[in-house]
Structure 1
Amino acid sequence: SNGQITLLRDENGDDRADVRELVVSGLPTGLHQNDNLKFGADGWLYMGLGSTCDACVEADSRSASLMRFNVDTGESEIIATGLRNPYDLAFHPATGDLFATDNGRDDLGLDSPFEELNHIIVGGDYGWPGCWNEREGSDCTGTQTAVAFFEPHSSANGLDFYSGSQFPADYQNNAFVAIFGTF
């Protein structure tokens, strides 16, 4: 995303963007991309920002985080940290709670760490780079544990909650996570 969020507007109804408006700029970039965007019920735009490295202490606190942006005023804030590559996020349709997938570091071997689904708590630290899996690592004090784990290095990418009526009622309000595959 080149460290930017751009609004594309179709002003004449021809299904083509006529106007490009820079909404946010100067976001950190590096090893991982700035990830998916979702508007919350509060009208703010939520976005995952990937880390600039595999396992390091970030120079910019916005890296390896979830942020939210007020697209009208330009105001922004970090809502969660310690997320190496929070690839996708979704709001639970019944509770409005925010969840995010996160892809773990690569330098711990083929069997660790797991990819994660995290229930995002405002102000929460999700452990990267010093804590992974279920409280492994040297720096787990005060960190949040994932609500679900996936095969190491499988790249938990897409996330959505089902709220339709086409599939069985047991699927209602449950998370679906798309897995890319291991390296």
Structure 2
Amino acid sequence: MRHSNALTALSVALLLSACGGEGDSTQAHGPAPQIPEPQRGLLPSMKIAEPVQWGDQKPTVPQGYSVTAIASDLKIPRQTLVLPNGDILVAEGRGGNAAKLKPKDVIAGYIKAQGNTQIKGGNRLTLLRDADGDGTYEMKTVFAENLNAPYGLALADGKLYVANQDALVRFDYEKGQTKASGPPTKITDLPSEINHHWTKSLAISPDGRFLYVGIGSNSNITERGMEVELDRAMVWQIDVETGAHKPYAIGLRNPTALTIQPKSGQLWAVVNERDELGPDLVPDYLTSVREGGFYGWPYSYWGQHVDPRAQPQNPDKVAAAVKPDYSLGSHVAALGVDFSLPAMGEKYAEGVFVGEHGSWNRDDPVGYKVVFVPFSNGRPAGEPVDFATGFRDSDGKTRGRPVGVTVDPRGALIIADDLSNTVWRVSRNR
């Protein structure tokens, strides 16, 4: 599998004007990363992943765990949801509106967000079933189709919620159901004009009353003007009954995945930050999402670090910007997050798993793996631990790119890989 000739030619042309110099390749992680000085340039250096087949290889997982491909030949799997009976739903699709993007944005979008550029997105939900619980999913069937780039998934009170790129919709769901009983009901429209960042992440409150939808910005740093950023770069809170919505938190450039912390019920997100400030800026991050909080975009990053490209400036907003809880490192492109459970084993019992899709704008690539961020007393504590690696070789060939990660309560991690169109299951050896 290779990128089209047109895409390759355009990327070569863009590289001629890219900024040079890799700088310090060390990625700072944790609650207090070192923030270097920005490096300004016309374009970042681009490192396009060369895809190859997995063949007889698999991702590398910790000792005492095994990894299995439980579904393949999918059509751009993004996020997954484990249903009460153990079935797994997979959202498949590709969104965006490349026709309205500038050439530079088309390249960046393909590399950073699209995964496999050769496969048409499925625009569907696929259901996987392991009837006898032996870890082999014998059934793979289409649960719902004719969707519009579905991404976020949530379930509560017999309702299955799906965040398409243009609307939040709902299906009725009964335990054990293998196919939707009819077309979905629309709850509310979601911003979809241009859709520079098209993914719509989703989580539901513990009481089932509210849905949270992560909506990315329509630009890197408002280069299209603020008018196209209306209702974007934020998390919406939506009433499940009426569809009424309001901003829950703002200034999050691209909140690509949301999850609810067990016990506390706190909303958390992973966020992809801005580009074109150099290979070591700006850190993508994991953070709790405070109601009413402002997280900096576009005026500042990592608290009060001012971004002069955002005009006009807003010192009051900068002063109020919430510093994120935990740096994942710059340009790792985190696209998945889920809290762990004790069933995952003692070492991984308290914390979150994060799917890192991988960088496109560093000479020294980062990401391309699933990490575990340990927690203590409900907060991130310590360095991230590699949990599933081997998606990218040291020679630059890429076999997979992790997106969504979902913890199966039975003691397994489900990983959607949108480059090889595979869903992986990592389980403890018994």
Q: Same fold (TM over 0.5)?
A: yes
Superposition pairs for residues 22-171 of structure 1, below 5 Å? 22-29=186-193, 30-43=195-208, 44-56=210-222, 58-59=226-227, 60-138=229-307, 139=315, 140-168=318-346, 170-171=347-348
- Secondary structure of the residue aligned to 2:241 is coil
Return the alpha-carbon distance in structure 2 between the equivalents of residues 46 and 153 of structure 1.
24
Q: Which has the larger radius of gyration?
A: 2
Conserved in 2, the CA contact under 8 Å of 1:99 and 1:117? yes
Q: Which residue of 2 aligns with 1:8?
A: 171
Conserved in 2, the CA contact under 8 Å of 1:38 and 1:89? yes
Letter in 1 for 2:178: D
Q: Percent identity among equivalent residues? A: 27
Using a 3 Å threshold, how does the CA distance of structure 1 residues 40 and 10 change in structure 2: closer, same or farther? Answer: closer
Q: Which residue of 1 aligns with 2:351?
A: 174
Return the alpha-carbon distance in structure 2 between the equivalents of residues 82 and 69 of structure 1.
18
Structure 1 spans left out of the alignment, 5+ residues: none
Return the alpha-carbon distance in structure 2 between the equivalents of residues 14 and 92 of structure 1.
28
Conserved in 1, the CA contact under 8 Å of 2:169 and 2:185? yes
- Report which of the two has the higher share of helix: 2
Conserved in 2, the CA contact under 8 Å of 1:34 and 1:47? no
Conserved in 2, the CA contact under 8 Å of 1:116 and 1:150? yes
Conserved in 1, the CA contact under 8 Å of 2:214 and 2:257? yes
- Secondary structure of the residue aligned to 1:141 is helix
Conserved in 2, the CA contact under 8 Å of 1:52 and 1:58? no
How far apart are residue 28 of structure 1 and its match? 4.2
Which one is further off, 172-181 or 39-48?
172-181
Return the alpha-carbon distance in structure 2 between the equivalents of residues 2 and 36 of structure 1.
9
Using a 3 Å threshold, how does the CA distance of structure 1 residues 14 and 88 change in structure 2: closer, same or farther? Answer: closer
Q: Which residue of 2 aligns with 1:17?
A: 180
Return the alpha-carbon distance in structure 1 between the equivalents of residues 358 and 190 of structure 2.
31
Between the two proteins, the alignment pairs up a number of residues equal to 182
Query: What is the CA deviation profile of residues 61-107 of structure 1, one whole-angstrom value per residue up to 9, with x for unaligned ones?
Result: 42000011112111111100001110001111021111111001112
Which one is further off, 20-29 or 32-41?
20-29
Conserved in 2, the CA contact under 8 Å of 1:92 and 1:173? no
Using a 3 Å threshold, how does the CA distance of structure 1 residues 172 and 103 change in structure 2: closer, same or farther? Answer: same
Q: Which residue of 1 aligns with 2:135?
A: none
Letter in 1 for 2:204: F
4+ residue runs over 4 A deviation: none
Structure 2 spans left out of the alignment, 5+ residues: 1-163, 308-314, 361-430
Using a 3 Å threshold, how does the CA distance of structure 1 residues 165 and 132 change in structure 2: closer, same or farther? Answer: same
Return the alpha-carbon distance in structure 1 between the equivalents of residues 220 and 330 of structure 2.
14
- The CA RMSD measured in Å over matched residues stands at 2.1
